[in-house]
């Protein structure tokens, strides 16, 4: 059974809405209450709101920018499984310690 997600939006997404005069943008905050900015409902205001989205996206680390690609598991390197198991690595480390190399 597939897990249902509450939203498909990435974590850098912002909430936008408008009324007759303004476009509102809600930016999540670490302090609890979100920051809400408003822009005039015209070409310049929409351009400023989109620029805010672009700035927010540019501040992301590169690993988070393509949110539709599943992350690579830590046990996988370049999409390939490790050559040895963790038990084999522990045994090799024990041998190296016994020889005084580590």
How many angstroms separate the CA atoms of 90 and 100, rounded?
Answer: 15
**Structural domain boundaries, residue 64:** 10-70
How many domains does the chain divide into? 1
Q: How confident is the model at residue 32 (pLDDT cuts 50, 70, 90)?
A: confident
What pLDDT does 22 receive?
95
Q: Does any domain span residue 84?
A: no
Structural domain includes residue 66: yes
pLDDT over 50 (residue 1): no
Sequence-distant (≥ 6) Cβ neighbours of residue 48 within 8 angstroms: 39
16: in domain: yes
pLDDT of residue 19: 94
For 42-81, the pLDDT digits (tens) are 999 999 999 988 888 888 777 777 766 665 555 666 667 7
Q: Is residue 2 part of a domain?
A: no
Out of 9-13, 25-29, 60-64, 78-82, least confident range: 78-82
Q: Are 7 and 14 in contact (CB under 8 A)?
A: no
Q: Is residue 57 part of a domain?
A: yes
Please indicate, yes or no, if residue 79 is contained in any of the structural domains.
no
pTM (predicted TM-score)? 0.54
The answer to whether the Cα torsion of 65, 66, 68, 73 is positive or negative is negative
Is residue 80 included in any domain, yes or no?
no
Confidence at 3, pLDDT banded by 50, 70, 90: low
| Token pair belonging to 91 | 């045994």
The residue among 20 and 30 whose pLDDT is bigger is 20
Closest CA to 75 of 83, 87, 65: 83
User: Quick check: is 88 in a domain?
Assistant: no
């Amino acid at each position: 059974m597939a897990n249902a997600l509450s939203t498909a939006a990435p974590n850098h997404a912002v909430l936008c809405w408008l009324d007759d005069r303004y476009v509102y943008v809600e930016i999540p905050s670490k302090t609890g209450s979100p920051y809400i900015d408003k822009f005039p409902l015209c070409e310049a205001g929409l351009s400023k709101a989109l620029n805010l989205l672009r700035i927010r996206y540019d501040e992301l680390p590169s690993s988070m920018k393509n949110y539709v690609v599943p992350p690579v598991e830590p046990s996988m390197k370049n999409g390939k499984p490790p050559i040895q198991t963790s038990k084999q690595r522990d045994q090799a480390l024990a041998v190296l310690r016994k020889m005084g190399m580590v």
